Amino acid sequence: MGTFIGHVYPGLFLFFYGLYQAIVVSKAIIFSDSLLYPSCPSRNKGRCARLWKISYEGSLKMVVGSLLIAYEVSSIEGGLRLMNRELPPRFMYPKEWQHLTMFTLLTLIGCVDVVSKNVLAQRCVALEKGILVLSFYELLLLLVTHVKGSEGVELQVHALLILVVFLLTLVLAAELWAPDTCHLWLIETFLFLIMGSWLIQAGFILYRPLSGYPWQDDDTNDIMFVTTFFCWHVLVDASCLLGIYGFSSFWYRCYGPSLRLMGSKEAPHHTSAPGHLYKLLQEVEPSEREDQVLLLSKNSL
């Protein structure tokens, strides 16, 4: 039961996180917005402004990671011990300790997000991306050793998961040098969707088969269909990403002009037309006005 939860619940979190990322990326592409500093409605009142600036994404990672850690520790009778009391001593529960390390990495990522966005005087994107890349490198190492002793269906399931994590690690490392690139964010979102949906599928394949009968490690057909199911997941997740982008485009065509008009009314100070600047110059003192008009004419030349 604990291992089933350890696959399905993190998979659900990663899948819905990927859907959220897909909405953010679609909005950024359509509205030509920044991915790291997306525009949001203005909040002018104190308490509402502080609540609006809270990193809900980082807080959710902390909560989910902490709950998974608590469940992993409590799911083992007698507690999660590192070594036994026999001679010579042996390490115990290797896979459970690896699960615990993975969940701790998720909690750490959430803590860094909250510190960067809510504690530091200025948001440090390099710190957020750095801890994310470091965590996925460690996750990749853990998964490579996680399959030791596995064979057949279980080995194939985890091998495909390792492939996704490896590609995601490369994309996250590339974002260290290009953190606001839409193409990389699209690939990252797509890989998060695949990783989440495949973790859910892995939980049912390995521990809760829908047919009620376990998969056979010595059956070539079962191993082939694991790869076939993975390809179906890739197609379905790509369709989800395309559907979110299509819906966002449709929403923009219907309501985009009115949203841009409201944005221009809320932030008139962004306009820097020459006529508006000249009207502002009319309100200053005559001597200052002449000096500034002279500077304006020189800059225009």
Residues of the chain falling short of pLDDT 70: 1-2, 33, 36-55, 255-301
- Report pLDDT for 95: 85
> Which residue has 């590192």 as its token pair?
82
- Report pLDDT for 141: 94
Over residues 92-113, the pLDDT tens digits come to 888 888 889 999 999 999 999 9
- Report pLDDT for 171: 95
- Report pLDDT for 108: 94
Question: Nearest-CA neighbor of 2 among 71, 94, 56?
Answer: 71
Domain ranges in the chain are 4-35+51-82+90-256
231: phi then psi, degrees, rounded to nearest 5:
-65, -35
- Report pLDDT for 38: 60
Which two structure tokens, joined as six digits, stand for 229?
């199911």
Over residues 236-286, the pLDDT tens digits come to 999 999 999 888 888 777 866 555 555 444 444 444 444 443 444 344 444
DSSP string for residues in 234-275: HHHHHHHHHHHHHHHHHHHHHHHHHHHHHHHHH-GGG---HH
- Report pLDDT for 88: 78
